[in-house]
A and B are shown apart, each in its own frame.
Chain A
Amino acid sequence: MNDVLSWLTASAHWTGEDGIPQRLLEHLYYSGVALLIAAVIAIPLGLFVGHTGRGRFVVVNAAGAARAVPSLGLLFVSVLVLGPRLTGDTAFVVPCEIVLVVLAIPPILAGAYAGVEEVDPAVRDAAKGMGMRGPEVLARVEIPCALPLIFSGLRSGALQVVATATIAATVGLGGLGRFLIDGLAVRDYSQMAAGAVLVAVLALVVDLGFALIQRYAVSPGLTGRIGTRLGAERNEALDPSVTSADTRESGRA
């Protein structure tokens, strides 16, 4: 334990190309890019499926099936198959990003779809009764109501990506996973454990960050931060720290 602490506090490990800040930035960069691409693909698709009810079967099963595919195997296959067709750094980065995106899509898709589908039909009817048309109902009623689940999908997608980006160090990518893999290669347990601590802390921070964004991005009428009795009950049900179980279950690598 002390070795790990002294590794973490040694100033040499906080500077340069392979220092902690640089590795952290790489990790965040790979994860951020993947999450962004996945969100751009999955959120509109999920909203469409939730709004129209088309393709429901595919979405529900895709999320389940994706959980069963081991990400490590997927990563290796994609690097071996795509790597030789690319040159330089992209030979590693592109296959990794593809895998990260593929892994992040199912939870985000499921969140967006479930969020829209679970909007109270009475609310939807009320919107139609007020004269809103399909796209307007989606934009002004369904999406705001779906935000808690959309965020919980993003949150589990983000966790999945951050965890898998760690593994991506095995195929030569940077990121915090390097400390685990390099430490393993030279049998330096304190480096491995220190890297593992950093990765775990990063995952927790990302998770809490999403919980906070979720809490403040969602309409107070939905989270019950306005003090009605009904609101207080819903607050418990929608507390972002507790809600995300449905979609976060898939968030793992």
Chain B
Amino acid sequence: MTWFLDHVSDVLSLTGKHVYLAGVPLVLGLLIAIPIGWLARRYKVLYPPLIMGTGLLYTIPSLALFILMPLFIGTRILDPVNVVVAMTIYTVALLVRTVADGLGAVPEAVTQSATAMGFKRVRRLFMVELPLAVPVISAGMRVAAVSNVSIVSVAAIIGVPQLGSLFTDGFRRDFTDPIVVGILACVLLAITFDLVIIAITRLLTPWQQVRRATR
């Protein structure tokens, strides 16, 4: 506890880096997963290869992916960009399936009504299908957010500073306090990400609140 009080500012600055390394890929991953998920839903032939292909990316252990990144994008091994790109890959791997399934869960009658009202394909996607898929996509985002926060900490091994640095630092000095603080900070951060996503989902899906209230 005293260790934490003495190092509050360090922990906060590491937390800030952690938020960046886990949060930016979450947004980028979603932006990339939406068109891929849409393709998988729109063209049935593409569904199995796209879902399987992205699923396979998710099997690659994080430390291995961090280390291999420079080979693919030509960065230096210590560059935090490696972590951002690797985390984006994981996020895409998780979300493509979610987006495809979320779009698939939009009732046929709704899309047909939208078409009948004169919505063209792109406008229908953004104004009708995606908003209705928000609850499903949000469930996937919550999983991705929580696992991102945990995975990013592994990057401490290759020397990219964030909350995981507390683990390597504590282990090197045979001192559990920083490690325990780091674990708690990671869990708190994961919960915070989760709450933020829940809040955004509520804002984006006002009809669900109405339904709940009138029930």
Residues on A facing B (Cβ under 8 Å): 1, 4, 64, 67-74, 76-77, 79-81, 159, 162-163, 166-167, 170-171, 177, 180-181, 184, 189, 192-193, 195-197, 199-200, 203-204, 206-207, 239, 241-242, 244-245, 248-253
Contact A199 B191 (CB under 8 A): no
A39 vs B48: C-alpha distance in the bound complex, in angstroms? 29
B201 CB within 8 Å of chain A: no
B residues contacting A by CB (< 8 A) are 48, 51-52, 55-56, 58-65, 67-68, 70-71, 77, 90, 94, 97, 143, 146-147, 149-151, 153-154, 156-158, 163-164, 166-168, 170-171, 174-176, 179-180, 182-183, 186-187, 190-191
Total CB contacts across the A-B interface at under 8 A:
151
Which of chain B's residues have a CB closer than 8 A to the CB of A250? 147
Looking at chain A's contact residues, is the secondary structure mostly helix, strand, loop, or mixed?
A: helix
Contact between A163 and B153, CB atoms less than 8 A apart: no
Q: Is B64 a contact partner of A73 (Cβ separation < 8 A)?
A: no
A49, chain B: closest CB distance, angstroms: 21
In the assembled complex, the CB of A17 is this many whole angstroms from the nearest CB of chain B, namely 22
On whether the beta carbons of A253 and B62 are closer than 8 Å, the reply is yes
A residues near B68, Cβ cutoff 8 Å: 193, 196-197, 200
Q: What are 6 A-B contacts defined by CB distance under 8 Å? A: A69-B183, A73-B153, A73-B186, A80-B175, A252-B90, A253-B61
Q: Are A68 and B149 in contact (CB under 8 A)?
A: yes
Alpha-carbon distance between A197 and B63 when the two chains are bound, in angstroms: 11
Contacts A204-B56, A245-B55 given; indicate if A253 touches B151 (C-beta within 8 A).
yes
Is there an interface contact between A199 and B179, defined as CB atoms closer than 8 Å? no
Known A-B contacts A73-B179, A74-B183, A193-B68; A68 and B150 likewise in contact (beta carbons under 8 Å): yes
B64 touches which one: A4, A159, A166, A241 (CB < 8 A)?
A: A166
Q: Choose among B71, B94, B186 the residue that contacts A70 (Cβ–Cβ < 8 A).
A: B186
| Contact between chains at A68 and B59 (CB < 8 Å) | no
Sample of 10 more A-B contacts, CB < 8 Å, known A73-B167, A167-B63: A1-B71, A4-B71, A67-B150, A159-B59, A166-B63, A171-B171, A177-B63, A180-B157, A184-B158, A196-B65
Chain B residues within 8 Å of A248, by CB: 55, 58
Max chain A CB contacts within 10 Å: which of B63, B68, B77?
B63
